Structures are given as structure tokens and as C-alpha cells.
Amino acid sequence: MTTISDKADLRPSHLTDFLKAACPGHRGSHYITDLKCTGLSLRLKGEKVAFFLRYKGISKTLGWAHEGEAWYIPSIKAARELADKVKRQIDFGGEPYAEEFLRQHHHVVENKLDLTHDDIVREMRPKVGTWTLQQCIDKTIEDKTADTATKPWRAPTVSTLRSTFAKPEFADLLDMPAVNLKRSDIERIRDVMLTKHASPSPAGKVVSNVSTVLGHCQSVHGGQSGLDRVEPWWKLLTVGRTTKPRTRNPGVENIAKSLILADVYTMKRLPGRMQAKHDHKYGIRDGVAAAFHWVCLTAQRQGAALAIRRIDYVPDPENDGWYLAAWGEGVMKAGVAHVLPIPPRLVRHMASKLDQVGRPDSQWLFPSERGKNDIHVHRSSTLSVLKRLGARDALTKKRATAVDLLAANGIKWWTPHDTRRTITPVMDAAGIPGGSSVVLAHEVRRTDRLDVANDESREQHVARITRLAYGGAQHLHLKRKAMTVWTDTVLDEYDRLKREWQPLER
């Protein structure tokens, strides 16, 4: 790549020439150092034209010369004025002040705010050096997951919080000093969530997670975070809408149909779907399909159902052919351990599915087939099975030819969590009104730690699961009866449909 470097009094014609040259396919670099403003240069690199400052050993991109680009600088004059202001910030406090000033300056310009240069400096200078929002998030998680925490957070809580702040709407705020955050910043993200999602739940998570993080850092780390003298505006944030109770109930037939569709498209492409480079050659990966079967047939919450290790899925020593699936208190939503008896028929059904899954060296029963890290299939993946079948995922939405296989086969939209509403009437019809509660882990009160003894043998671990299961508080007799009725009901319908039903593709 060729690099050309010149020195000159920058003129508008230089900028015009660079912008004309910055066309697709342009290669090489051309720098013109301004003789009028020390440290300022105009740079053409590839297809981009930028204003750049090198001053006192600090190098900063001041902005871009392309209209519509973030951090847009429209002229040589504007670049020189901005360079002088940034140099004053470097003189005052070094690179952190320069970086924060640039961020604040462009925020004011892009949003046409009525703030002067002095207003920006007055607002930012006492706050540089305090924690960013990302640092506040990390410190809150560190504190809340410590062994000495009053009410330690469980993994699902941490996952939900990280997922909220990983949304692209937060990208511009994470590196901002938390003390500079404004109520309007979060209200804007909340409103985007309300527009993007039918349910107000994502907006509620934005409000509650921001309040949790900022509230914790103000009360515990006020000085370091810079929030000690800030009015806690986050306490006043609300969503302004209520979440209506969900009533979707797919019914046994639609669950069975969806399981069959998942099976079919582990062996063929989804009709009308655009395939991404990273995508699997068929519609649904074998491991994800197995996880989908497991979630539906155990009726457990997706996050917990999939966070099961191989050593926590063991033969039941008291009942031939049965298995025990166990989850520790750190996984379950209620914060208590849960043991679920798996009937022989379901054991055999899942064995055929698990035989198709790779990663035999994984610690997880449902290991992810993607990436090098040993992680389990994520709860979003089982929801994605239905999104793909229903042409609701990102790739199928881009194609008018994508087929909604759920609608084509008379299946109304549902999610794996809705299975938990289907199991109750099945239990009631079988004369086991309490069966759904014990299967769904609504009534269990005993706790145990399944992950405290990492050096124990498999035999010791199985013995501990057995003690937990048969200790009296897990209602194993009722669970066995309920799980037999539930799995037989779904699998009977599954087997019948496989014989009698032909899925449609249009």
C-alpha cells in the first residue's frame, strides 16, 4: 500500500480532492500536515477522509469529513478550531480529557444542543477519571456475585443484566463516565425497546438494570464512581406500561407438530431461507433440535433446562430405566435445587437425539456446536427453532420467499416457555392437580449445592443427587407420576403424527 505525505496550508480544495478520491476500491494513504495548525493533518486512507491530531505524543482522530458520518467535521476551518480546543484539553489533563471532550463536543453538534464550549468543559472536567458505565456494570457484578454478598446473584441474573447492556443501543454509553449519563439517555433507549418489541418487558429490563447498577455504585462506591453527589434520577425511571399476562397455550398437538418439523429440518434446508456464510448447511442444527426436544418434554425454563451437566443426568439407582436430572440452587429461578425424574421412554427418546450431538468431551449435556469454548446451547437457540420455522428470524425476514412453516401447518405462534401452560390442563385431566407444580419447580423448598465438591468422584456425585432426590422434599413419587403422564401424552401424539401427518411447505 502506497503512503504519500505532504505539508501545506490546508485549503478547501485539498478537502474536495480527498473526498473525490475516497471512492470504493481506493487503496493507499495520503496525509497532508497543516502548516497553519500545529499537529493537525488531513488523511485519506482507503475510502475514508479524516482529520487527525498529533500533539504532545498523543494521537487522536478528531472526526470524519464525510457528511452523515458520526463525528462529522464539515470544513478545514472547523477542524482547526476543534484541534485547538482539543490541544487545550491535552494541556490540562492529557488524553482522557481530550477523549471525553471530543465525545461531548460531537454529541452536542450532532444533537444540535444549545451548549457552548465552556459549558462542555465545565460539565466534563470534574468528572473525568471517575468510572464509566461499563466499569460500574463490572463492579456491580463483582460485588453481587462475591461469596460475601448479602444476597448473591445467580448466573441467570448476571446473564440477563449483561444481555441488557450488550444491546447496540447502549454502545455509545458504555465508555461514558457514569456521572455524565442523563435521564434522557436511558429514556431514549427505553423508548426504542418499546418500539422494537411487542412486549414492554425489554424496556422494563433496561430501566431496572440501569437503576440497579447506578444505585449500587452510588451507595457503595459513590466517590470512585463519581455518583456521590448526583441526584438519583434513575429511581424515577418507569416504563409507563404494564406487561399483560401471557395466555398462549400451544396444546399437545402443536407441540408434537413443532417437534417433528424440527426433526425434518435438521436434514434439509428451510424453504426460501437466505443462508449466511456462518450458517449451518441445514435449517436446524442437531444439537439445537435435541435441546428443543428436551425443553418441550421436560417443561423446564429454557435457561435452566439447558444448563445441565452430564454428571447431573444420571441413572436412578432406585428405579430401573429411569434417570434423574438435577439442577443446583444457582441455576433455578427460585434459588433452590430441583431434581426431575426422567421416565424410561423419554430417556430412550433423548438418547437417540443426543447421539447426533457432537462435542463428546464437553461437560454439558447439550453442548453448543459453535465456537471453541465449552458452553451449552443458549436459551435463545431453542426459541430460534420456532423463529426459523415461523420465518421470524433475521435471515428469513429479508426474503419474501421465506415460508412460515408454522402457519402453513396450522400452528399458531408459540414459544418454548408456553409449554409450561400446556402441562397444567394435561395434569388436571389425568387427576394429578399438583403434578404440574412439582414438575415446574413451583413448590420445592429444600436447597442443596450440587457444585461445591468439584473433586468428588462420579459415584459420590450420583449419591448426593440421590440423597437430594429421595430426601423427602422433592416429591419424587408425584413427579414420576406427573412426568410419565406428560411425556407419554406428548410422545403418543408425536408418534401418531409421524405415522399419519405430512408437513406442508407452502
In whole angstroms, give the CA distance from residue 406 to residue 408: 5
**Dihedral angle sign, alpha carbons of residues 232, 236, 237, 243:** positive
Whether residue 291 is found in the same domain as residue 385: yes
Residue type, 429: A
Domain closes at, from 236, 261, 277: 236
Q: Say if residues 144 and 153 touch (Cβ distance below 8 Å).
A: yes
Task: Give domain status of residue 246, yes or no.
Answer: no
Q: Say if residues 346 and 336 touch (Cβ distance below 8 Å).
A: no
Of residues 215, 382, 363, the one with CA closest to residue 295: 382
Whether residue 222 is found in the same domain as residue 107: no
In Å, what is the CA distance from 227 to each residue of 131, 136, 224, 238, 255? Answer: 9, 10, 8, 20, 50
Instruction: Determine the pLDDT at residue 437.
Output: 75
Q: What is the mean pLDDT of the chain?
A: 85
Residue 7 scores a pLDDT above 70? yes
Residue 122 scores a pLDDT above 90? no
Q: Say if residues 281 and 333 touch (Cβ distance below 8 Å).
A: no
Task: Give domain status of residue 245, yes or no.
Answer: no
Q: Mapping DSSP to helix (H, G, I), strand (E, B) and coil, where does residue 63 land?
A: strand
Whether residue 353 is found in the same domain as residue 227: no
Whether residue 489 is found in the same domain as residue 394: yes
Please spell the DSSP secondary structure of 144-180, one letter per residue. Answer: HTSTT-SSPPPHHHHHHHHHHHTSGGGTTTTTSBGGG
Whether residue 12 is found in the same domain as residue 87: yes
In Å, what is the CA distance from 461 to each residue of 328, 365, 477? Answer: 12, 16, 22
In whole angstroms, give the CA distance from residue 203 to residue 220: 26
In whole angstroms, give the CA distance from residue 98 to residue 91: 9
Report the first-to-last Cα separation within the chain, whole angstroms: 52
pLDDT band at 389 (very low <50, low <70, confident <90, very high): very high
pLDDT band at 365 (very low <50, low <70, confident <90, very high): very high
Task: Give domain status of residue 242, yes or no.
Answer: no
CA angle 171, 173, 177 (to 5 degrees): 145
Whether residue 318 is found in the same domain as residue 193: no
Whether residue 110 is found in the same domain as residue 142: no
Number of domains in the chain: 3
Q: Say if residues 321 and 347 touch (Cβ distance below 8 Å).
A: yes
Q: Which residues make beta-bridge pairs with 60?
A: 53
Q: Mapping DSSP to helix (H, G, I), strand (E, B) and coil, where does residue 417 land?
A: helix
Whether residue 155 is found in the same domain as residue 15: no
Task: Give domain status of residue 203, yes or no.
Answer: yes
Instruction: Determine the pLDDT at residue 316.
Output: 92
pLDDT (mean) for 357-381: 84
Instruction: Determine the pLDDT at residue 125.
Output: 59
Domain closes at, from 188, 212, 236: 236
Domain closes at, from 236, 268, 284: 236
Whether residue 106 is found in the same domain as residue 160: no
Of residues 244, 245, 297, the one with CA closest to residue 426: 297
Instruction: Determine the pLDDT at residue 127.
Output: 64
pLDDT (mean) for 144-158: 89
Task: Give domain status of residue 244, yes or no.
Answer: no
Whether residue 193 is found in the same domain as residue 87: no
- Give tens-digit pLDDT for 454-481: 555 555 565 556 555 555 455 788 888 9
Whether residue 381 is found in the same domain as residue 425: yes
Global pTM? 0.60
In whole angstroms, give the CA distance from residue 261 to residue 446: 38
Residue 186 scores a pLDDT above 90? yes
Q: Which of 66-75, 153-162, 297-306, 371-380 has the lowest mean pLDDT?
A: 371-380
Task: Give domain status of residue 350, yes or no.
Answer: yes
Residue 256 scores a pLDDT above 90? yes
Burial-class residue 466 by CB neighbours within 10 Å (0-12, 13-18, 19+): middle
Instruction: Determine the pLDDT at residue 445.
Output: 40
Whether residue 385 is found in the same domain as residue 331: yes
Of residues 258, 195, 286, the one with CA closest to residue 419: 258
- Give tens-digit pLDDT for 267-297: 998 887 765 544 556 789 999 999 999 999 9
Task: Give domain status of residue 241, yes or no.
Answer: no
Structural domain span for residue 219 = 133-236
Residue type, 99: E
| Helices 476-500 + 344-354 axis angle, to 10 | 60
Task: Give domain status of residue 209, yes or no.
Answer: yes
Instruction: Determine the pLDDT at residue 270.
Output: 87
Residue 396 scores a pLDDT above 70? no
